[in-house]
Structure formats: C-alpha cells, structure tokens
Amino acid sequence: MTAQEVTEGLRGPAFAATPWTYHQGHVVAYDSVGFTVATQGLNYGTGVFEGIRAYWDPRAHSLHVVKLREHLERFAASARLLHLDLGATVAELSDASTELLVRNGYRGDTYLRPIAHTLQFLPGTAFGVRLRGISTATSIYALPMPAGIGIEGVRCLVSSWRRVPDESLPARAKITGSYANLALAVDEATSAGCDDAILLNTKGTVAEASTANVFLARDGQLITPHLGADILAGITRGCVIELAATEGDTVVEREVPRSELYSADEIFLTGTGCELVPVIAIDGRSVGDGSVGPVTRRYLQRYRDAVHGRDDSLAGWLTTVRLTD
C-alpha cells in the first residue's frame, strides 16, 4: 500500500460526508488535524474514547443524539484515570458535539467519536512511558453509520483470551490501549468463522463481547454480568435495564458462568454501535431454537422506538439537534 493510499483511506468516503472535526477547542476541517509518529497516545495506547450515536429523523429534520451527557461523563471519568486534561468541561464538549453535527450537516445516522490522548512531552519531561508531563489532544470526529446491522443475529465464540482484569487495566474506562485485548479476541472469533467474541474474565465467568455487553434471557428473567465482572458499564446496557423496569421484567446483575450461555433461552448483545444484537449461536451450539427470540425482539423494538424519537416517555435519552437548510 502506498503512502498516498493510506492517506486516502484515512480521508475515506465516510469522512467526505462529515468533513468537520472538533479539535482542541475548535471545529476545524477534518483533514487539517495532523499528528506525528511520536504522538504519545499512539506509541503507548494512553488515550480514552467514546462512541455516541445520533439518529436521523427526517420528519423532524433532526438528529437525535442518544445519552450524550452520559457518554461525555464516562469520557471525562476515563480521562481522569489517565490524568488526561480534556481542556473542556462536559457541558462544553456537549455543545461542541452538537455544533459539529450542525456544521457537518449530514442527514443520516451518524457516529460521534470523542477521543483524547497523550500528545507530546512538555519541556523538561524525558522520553518514555508516563502519564504526567505530557500534553493532551482532545478531538471529536464524526462518520456516517447506518443502524440496524446484524439484526438477523450473530454467531459468537467464547474467546481463549481473557478480558483484562480491573487490577491490570480497568475495563470500566474506555482506554485505547485496552482494545488490543478485544482485537485479539475478535481476530480469534472471525478466524473461526464467527461474527464476534465473548470474553470471560480471569475468574472464568462471562465478562462482555468485543464492544458490547451481554444479556441472557432465561425463565422470564434478564441476566447480565455485574459491574465487578471486568466489563464496561455500557450505556446501552443501562438503557435495557431502564426499559426492563418499564416492562415489569426483573434484571439480575450477577456472575454468569460460561456454561449458562449454553442454556439461555435467548442472548443479546448491547452497545452503542451494534444497538441490540441477537446471538443465535455460541461455540457451535444454537441459542434457544437458533432464531431471534421474542424477548430480544421486544427490547430491540423498544430501544429503536426510543432512539428514533418515537417514545415520548423516553425523550430524556435524546439531545435533539435540528438541521436547517
């Protein structure tokens, strides 16, 4: 691949639709942001990020951003762990996100990616791995991301790679470097012909999928690994727990042994990117009868109605940004 092809790939068709980026306090042209090969976050994985969805509502000429404040608060919490100074408050990043959507003017489902990472040594700081004495870069970029992929169901492999334990690298923070752990698991799963990996934690119980939390439906209950199971406290996971309260369903957050995956009536994954995705097979065994079950279908419909602005009782999830001509 030539250097020009790499550069073209980074600009890509997705970015052509969303040419503006927030960077260090300003909305600037996406192509104008450049980093050197010595960028600290690139060398050591010392960065944090978020993934936020905005759904296009053609009737309202608006984008509905889902749980914007919650995502940015998690971003700020992740940044605190790595001593990254975001240079902006959650409220300012929230305004920046909406300004970015307006400037891009893209009328379609959009993904927002806030990212902050160590940038370069401040004067007097020696070369090497560290968290202090280094400047931070804070950016938010956007790309088109149509919703509803994988709804027909995915096949998962329980990975031989374990989710990094909280004592080593906290999964509760979205740290760029920790995604190498998840990438190894995805690679193992896709090499085996599956769509995604489910990782166990070092205690051997279920943690999460590569970029999604796991829910089991069994005997009329929803079961999901508790927050001490080395998982990200997923915001979509929280949405499902909220929905369950309105549906009158019980959610049990506890340790989930691997073997329980094989006896669940239904399993689904939750995440901003994937939304709610049914798991139809695990380790070559079908989940339930191998088709999308009624509980998954019901929650998927409720979630979709909420994020597309069709459920007034859940309007509080959304920050609505109107695009004018």
Q: Is 214 in the site for ligand PMP (CB under 6 A)?
A: no
List the interface residues with ligand PMP, window 240-279 (CB under 6 A): 270-272
Question: Which amino acid is located at 156 in the chain?
Answer: C
Burial class (CB in 10 A: 0-12, 13-18, 19+), 239: buried
First to last CA, the chain: 40
Residue 160 per-residue DSSP state: S
Q: Is 225 in the site for ligand PMP (CB under 6 A)?
A: no
Tell me which of 72, 175, 189, 212 binds ligand PMP, using CB under 6 A: 212
Distance CA 108, CA 188 (A): 33
Cα-Cα-Cα-Cα dihedral sign, residues 234, 235, 240, 245: positive
Tell me which of 21, 159, 236, 296 binds ligand PMP, using CB under 6 A: 236
Q: Is 181 in the site for ligand PMP (CB under 6 A)?
A: no
Stretch that binds ligand PMP, among 13-21, 58-66, 86-94, 232-240 (CB under 6 A): 232-240
Q: Is 211 in the site for ligand PMP (CB under 6 A)?
A: yes
Tell me which of 40, 138, 213, 319 binds ligand PMP, using CB under 6 A: 213
Tell me which of 57, 109, 195, 208 binds ligand PMP, using CB under 6 A: 208
Size of the site for ligand PMP (CB under 6 A): 14
Q: Supply angle C-alpha 160, 164, 165, rounded to 5.
A: 120
Strand partners, 239: none
Cβ-based nearer residue to ligand PMP, 214 or 280: 214
Cβ-based nearer residue to ligand PMP, 84 or 134: 84
Quickly list H helices, 105-234: 179-191
Residue with tokens 């960028």: 39
> Mask of contacts with ligand PMP, 9-48, x by CB under 6 A?
----------------------------------------
CB of 228 to ligand PMP, least distance (A): 15
| Per-residue tokens: 187 | 């690679």
Strands of 99-239, DSSP E: 110-121, 134-144, 154-158, 196-200, 206-209, 213-218, 221-225
Distance CA 240, CA 270 (A): 8
Cβ-based nearer residue to ligand PMP, 216 or 235: 235
CB of 299 to ligand PMP, least distance (A): 13
Distance CA 111, CA 145 (A): 6
Q: Is 108 in the site for ligand PMP (CB under 6 A)?
A: no
Tell me which of 157, 232, 300, 318 binds ligand PMP, using CB under 6 A: 232
Cβ-based nearer residue to ligand PMP, 115 or 134: 115
CB 295 within 8 A of CB 301: no
Binding site for ligand PMP (CB under 6 A): 51, 182, 208, 211-213, 232, 234-237, 270-272
